[in-house]
Amino acid sequence: MADVITFGEAMVRLYPPDFKRLEQTESLNLSVGGAEWNVAVDLARLNVGSSWVSVLPDNPLGRLIRNKTREHGVDTSKIVFKKDGRVGLYFVEFGSSPRASKVYYDRGNSAISCMDLNDIDWDEVFEGAKWFHTTGITPALSENCAKVTEIAIKKAKEKGLTVSYDLNYRSKLWSPEDAKKTTERFIEYVDFCLGNEEDAEKVLGIKVEKAKRGDFAEIDKEMYKEIINEMVKKYKFKYVGVSLRESISVLRNRWSGLLYADGNFYLSKSYEIEIVDRLGGGDSFTAGLIYSFINKKDYQSAIEFAVAFSALKQTIPTDVNWVTYQEVEDLIKKGGARIKR
């Protein structure tokens, strides 16, 4: 039985090798990713029982996503397979300074965005679970997805699960107005909110004076605290997590995190990352926090673990955090750039 349930879309990721652009490539690497899928997979890598709930078409790509989910030990028994429909795709072009990386989505009309309201029996899904996680991408996929998100969050809350929600604003999917209106249907049921200052503004309408997150600028932690204070005041979140990325360049980032819990702030140490693949970094941060909460780490240890875990993710290709718990602990305790033999 899974402790953590995540709900959302996973897509097939297609990306050219060796910094090539899509227009010039003759081959694509293939992997799987999606905000909530990433969280479920990263939790399973940390030996947390997780189950990913979604809708997939019964075709090779749908089965491929199911298989890769199982590969990591995530429960797939709650996935709904549909005879027809398509799998969403996203294309990634990796850049280097001054060319930023780019993601192109081709996710319209995916099986999950065409889901029916009663495809999923949430009572059954939540049976025995402790935690429910989803993100702002899911309700943005379609009105039915928004409704199911609402149903799921309320049901989770009702059944006593901790509910975490990553605001994850996606401008390709909806406007700030739509995001705000929809999110307000269920945000009050959220215990643990994740997001950054852009999400806070676009999805929650929270904007503080100095909220200007420059790309290369040093991050202003006070600004983040201010925003979080606003969020907590307005929506009564028990916990808020924010990952802090400073982009020294496209391939060199500084990475840390801030956790608000029970009225206090906990700031992690910072890592300089030589970026290999930053996609999934934020989801690993979330998974690291959920892991820590489920395993009752203290708050400072929780944010340290989440940041170290998600820093490692960004040195590994694909959305998945292919590390072991021990490796995270080793990084926190020993660090070190020397080769390990």
Cβ–Cβ under 8 Å, residues 228 and 204: no
Alpha carbon distance 130, 153 (integer Å): 13
Which are the contacts of 50, defined by CB distance < 8 A and separation ≥ 6? 2, 3, 4, 5, 6, 39, 40, 41, 43, 44, 74, 75
The span of 35-43, 58-66, 112-120, 229-237 binding a copy of itself (CB under 8 A) equals 58-66
Residues 255 to 274: which contact a copy of itself by CB under 8 A? 271-274
Residue 124, phi then psi, degrees to nearest 5: -70, -45
- Report long-range pairs for 26-33 (Cβ below 8 Å, ≥24 apart): 28/91, 29/317, 31/68, 31/317, 31/318, 31/319, 31/320, 32/64, 32/65, 32/68, 32/69, 32/318, 32/319, 33/90, 33/279, 33/280, 33/318, 33/319, 33/320
Given the residues 166, 277, 283, 319, the one annotated as active site: 283
Q: Which is nearer to a copy of itself, 62 or 241 (CB)?
A: 62
The span of 152-160, 169-177, 232-240, 291-299 binding a copy of itself (CB under 8 A) equals 169-177
Burial class for 211, CB neighbours closer than 10 Å (0-12, 13-18, 19+)? middle
Residues 6 to 45: which contact a copy of itself by CB under 8 A? 14, 17-31
Q: Which is nearer to a copy of itself, 164 or 168 (CB)?
A: 168
The span of 115-123, 144-152, 165-173, 220-228 binding a copy of itself (CB under 8 A) equals 165-173
Structure tokens at 74: 């995530």
Q: Which is nearer to a copy of itself, 162 or 168 (CB)?
A: 168
| Minimal distance, residue 176 CB to a copy of itself, in Å | 15
Catalytic residue list contains 319: no
Q: Which is nearer to a copy of itself, 161 or 195 (CB)?
A: 195
Decide: is 296 part of the binding site for a copy of itself (CB under 8 A).
no
- E strand residue ranges, 110-213: 131-135, 162-166, 192-194
Residues 209 to 248: which contact a copy of itself by CB under 8 A? 215-216, 247-248
Q: Which is nearer to a copy of itself, 209 or 216 (CB)?
A: 216
Residues 111 to 130: which contact a copy of itself by CB under 8 A? none
The span of 91-99, 115-123, 142-150, 178-186 binding a copy of itself (CB under 8 A) equals 91-99
Cβ–Cβ under 8 Å, residues 258 and 265: yes
Decide: is 78 part of the binding site for a copy of itself (CB under 8 A).
no
| Minimal distance, residue 75 CB to a copy of itself, in Å | 11
Q: What positions carry a catalytic annotation?
A: 283
